[in-house]
Amino acid sequence: MINSAITKQIALYGHQAPSADNSQPWHFIWDGSLLSIKYDTPRVEGKTFPANSPATLLSLGAAIENIHLISNSYEIKCCHSVTFEDLSSTHAKAIIDFQSTPQLALPDLSNNHPIVNRHTNRFAYQSKILPKLAVNHLEKLTRGSARLLLIDDKASIHKAGKLVELASNIRFQTKEVHEWLGKSLRFTKDDVKKADGLDVRTLDLPPGGSIFLKFISSWNRMKVLNQIGTYRLLAKIDAAPIKAAPAILAVIAPATPQGAIDAGMLMCNAWTYLNNEDIAVHPYYVVADQLARLRENAVPEQLINSARDIEQQCQTTLDLKEGETLHMFLRAGYPKKVPLRSLRLPDDLVFTDTSGS
């Protein structure tokens, strides 16, 4: 039987998973027999994507994938299932069932396991293309209903970059998303110490960029600036790195809650593999987000036609099958610069042991 101390270690590897704006929206609970992962409503509700959004399910899938990766490394047999609270809600809960104990002692998080080395790199990349070995590996990778599409020819990379620019145009005119970003930015050392959110030093900002970002993080100011078309300039800046990417990976799966979980697992596996091969990764969620918002009728009225246009272009550029959607773009390439790593919240905020052992 697996014990509480080992389960906590495994959960903390799950906690290394990526999440939107480093919101770390999950809570891990060990009851002595099963490990569950739930949306931490009291801590994150209203500050990031809701429990039922595809972005949250992507993060949940990534945490599940990390738990499988660490379990495989240490020869622990485990399986997972995801339940949804009721038929009208997609409030997901993952349950991990461990069927064996590790053969080897689990290392703490300070070791260089690929899970811990996975990270976001938002800086410029070299133009060098991805090696054939990596391409072959990625082309075969799937998780459940999710698949990867490797985009590595110049014309298709440009089309994908243009989609990011169009979606970013909408994003900078959408109050809710803009306010979440504002709440997650960490400008000072004390803010960074909170260990969640986005340390502005992890962003590729020009000199004075962080002051400008602070200024526009208020929606009222952004709204005024948008009257002179500032959103167009910001969208161009946002899309420039992906237009120049040596390669892009599109994570594609059905537009369903299970599809998002599978996509999160696949995204995390591919990302961990690439970082382990010294290839940098920068996720772009903005296109997938606009597609999800369109399905949920959450795109502002005056921007619906632009979102429909993005949907149609995605269909043809990514050759999506019936019912499929884009869940994430990953910009990939050899890095020029080693980025600062995002922190994770302390253990006691994300892990609870109710086993009484």
Ligand X SMILES: Cc1cc2nc3c(=O)[nH]c(=O)nc-3n(C[C@H](O)[C@H](O)[C@H](O)COP(=O)(O)O)c2cc1C
- Work out the angle at residue 353's Cα, subtended by the Cα atoms of residues 114 and 15, and round it to the nearest 5 degrees: 25
Question: Which one of 19, 258, 269, 317 is in contact with ligand X (CB under 6 A)?
Answer: 19
How far apart are CB 238 and ligand X at their closest, in Å?
A: 8
User: What is the C-alpha to C-alpha distance for residues 115 and 127, in angstroms, rounded to an integer?
Assistant: 26
How far apart are CB 28 and ligand X at their closest, in Å?
A: 17
Give the binding range for ligand X (CB under 6 A) out of 28-36, 53-61, 94-102, 185-193: 53-61
Question: Which one of 2, 12, 13, 18 is in contact with ligand X (CB under 6 A)?
Answer: 18
CB 258 within 8 A of CB 145: yes
Question: Which one of 7, 22, 36, 275 is in contact with ligand X (CB under 6 A)?
Answer: 22
Structure tokens at 280: 């940098």
Q: Give the H/E segment covering residue 328.
A: strand 324-333
Q: Answer yes or no whether residue 145 interacts with ligand X by CB under 6 A.
A: no
Q: Answer yes or no whether residue 27 interacts with ligand X by CB under 6 A.
A: no
CB 4 within 8 A of CB 353: yes
Q: Give per-residue burial for 166-186: e unless 16+ CB within 10 Å, then b.
A: bbbbbbbbbeebbbbbeebbb
Q: Answer yes or no whether residue 120 interacts with ligand X by CB under 6 A.
A: yes
Q: Name which of 133, 26, 215, 168 is nearest 160 in CA terms.
A: 168
Give the binding range for ligand X (CB under 6 A) out of 30-38, 115-123, 303-311, 347-355: 115-123
Strands of the 34-39 sheet, one edge to the other: 78-84, 92-98, 34-39, 26-30, 351-353
Which residue lies nearer to ligand X by CB, 2 or 54?
54
Question: Which one of 15, 113, 122, 147 is in contact with ligand X (CB under 6 A)?
Answer: 122
Q: Answer yes or no whether residue 241 interacts with ligand X by CB under 6 A.
A: no
Which residue lies nearer to ligand X by CB, 14 or 283?
283
Structure tokens at 35: 């490990």
Q: Name which of 298, 157, 173 is nearest 241 in CA terms.
A: 157
β-bridge pairing 351-353 and 26-30: parallel
Closest residue to ligand X, judged by C-beta, is 18
Which residue lies nearer to ligand X by CB, 159 or 171?
171
How far apart are CB 294 and ligand X at their closest, in Å?
A: 17
Q: Answer yes or no whether residue 26 interacts with ligand X by CB under 6 A.
A: no
User: What is the C-alpha to C-alpha distance for residues 131 and 277, in angstroms, rounded to an integer?
Assistant: 10
CB 259 within 8 A of CB 328: no
Give the binding range for ligand X (CB under 6 A) out of 36-44, 101-109, 255-263, 281-289: 281-289
Q: Under rule CB under 6 A, how many of the chain's residues touch ligand X?
A: 20
Which residue lies nearer to ligand X by CB, 62 or 265?
62
Question: Which one of 20, 263, 280, 310 is in contact with ligand X (CB under 6 A)?
Answer: 20
User: What is the C-alpha to C-alpha distance for residues 148 and 329, in angstroms, rounded to an integer?
Assistant: 10
Question: Which one of 38, 113, 119, 178 is in contact with ligand X (CB under 6 A)?
Answer: 119
Question: Which one of 286, 310, 314, 320 is in contact with ligand X (CB under 6 A)?
Answer: 286
Which residue lies nearer to ligand X by CB, 102 or 144?
144
Q: Is 325 helix (H, G, I), strand (E, B) or coil?
A: strand
Question: Which one of 161, 241, 283, 333 is in contact with ligand X (CB under 6 A)?
Answer: 283
Give the binding range for ligand X (CB under 6 A) out of 17-25, 92-100, 129-137, 296-304: 17-25
Question: What single-letter amino acid sits at 178?
Answer: H
Give the binding range for ligand X (CB under 6 A) out of 20-28, 144-152, 185-193, 207-215: 20-28
Which residue lies nearer to ligand X by CB, 122 or 293?
122
Q: Name which of 14, 23, 22 is nearest 63 in CA terms.
A: 14
**Rg of the chain on CA atoms, in Å:** 20
Evaluated on CA atoms 354, 261, 276, 121, the torsion sign reads: negative
Question: What single-letter amino acid sits at 210?
Answer: S
Question: Which one of 2, 55, 181, 222 is in contact with ligand X (CB under 6 A)?
Answer: 55
Residues found near ligand X in the complex (CB under 6 A) = 18-22, 55, 58-59, 62, 119-120, 122, 198, 282-286, 341-342
